[in-house]
Homo-oligomer: A and B are copies of this chain.
Amino acid sequence: MFTPFRNKFLPEGDKWDSYVNCFKRIEVPAKTILLKEGEISKKMFLIEKGCIRVWYNNNGKDITSQFFFENEMVSSIESFRKGIPSLTAIETIEPGIIWWIHKKDLNRIIEEIKEIPRLRDMFINTIFERAFDYMKYFFSAIKDTPQQRYLNLIKERPEVIKRVPQHYIASYLGISTVHLSRIKSKLAKAKQ
């Protein structure tokens, strides 16, 4: 059994099995749409193998907002939580193995978690950390040049550079593919 969150989130002991049985396993090819733009999100995904991007359409161009890899959970979080149409789509980049849980089941688990102080605090902490992350992404988008953000990405998420096609990375950085190519070639020259 695939158990990435056993020690991280879930209580040990009896509850475990009832939680784990809520997850369904699927195998998907590359470029599978797991959630369409405009659809209301009912599933949270957990990646056993593969990689996923979250993107949205901006005047015909698609912009990638995030990448996810093994052992990470993915959902269109605002749609999932509020039951509103998703601004973003969720799509696999590589073929992979995904586990998913239905919103109803996850909500039931969360309600139980909120009654256990240690888990409740972990839950709150996770939301805070996610907020801090977005805050830092926002700051970086304002203060750093595209080149600097590319260097940050190399340093903090080398996985992305290795596994993700370059045009998705460019759209994530908010620049054209041509400009990303230029940055790479400039860095390669500087390194010599």
| A159 CB to nearest chain B CB (Å) | 20
Is B127 touching A128 in the complex (CB atoms < 8 A)?
yes
**A131 contacts across to B, CB distance below 8 A:** 77, 127, 130-131, 134
Cα–Cα distance between A117 and B58 once the two chains are bound (Å):
40
Is B174 touching A142 in the complex (CB atoms < 8 A)?
yes
| Residue A112 lies at the interface, judged by CB distance under 8 Å to chain B | no
Cα–Cα distance between A143 and B56 once the two chains are bound (Å):
10
**A139 contacts across to B, CB distance below 8 A:** 56, 63, 65
| A125 CB to nearest chain B CB (Å) | 9
| Shortest Cβ distance from A123 into B: residue | B124
Interface flags for A145-178 (1: CB within 8 Å of B; 0: not) read 0000000000000000000000000001110000
Q: List the number of copies, as a whole number.
A: 2
| Residue A114 lies at the interface, judged by CB distance under 8 Å to chain B | yes
**A137 contacts across to B, CB distance below 8 A:** 134, 138
Cα–Cα distance between A158 and B127 once the two chains are bound (Å):
29
| A83 CB to nearest chain B CB (Å) | 13
| Shortest Cβ distance from A64 into B: residue | B142
| Shortest Cβ distance from A88 into B: residue | B139
**A173 contacts across to B, CB distance below 8 A:** 142
| Shortest Cβ distance from A175 into B: residue | B142
Residue of A78, A114, A131, A174 with most partner-chain B CB within 10 A: A131
22 A-B contacts (beta carbon < 8 Å): A56-B143, A58-B143, A63-B139, A63-B143, A65-B138, A65-B139, A65-B142, A77-B132, A77-B135, A114-B117, A124-B124, A127-B127, A127-B128, A127-B131, A130-B131, A134-B135, A134-B138, A137-B138, A138-B138, A142-B172, A142-B173, A142-B174
Binding site for B on A (CB under 8 A): 56, 58, 63, 65, 77-78, 81, 114, 117, 120, 123-124, 127-128, 130-132, 134-135, 137-139, 141-143, 172-174
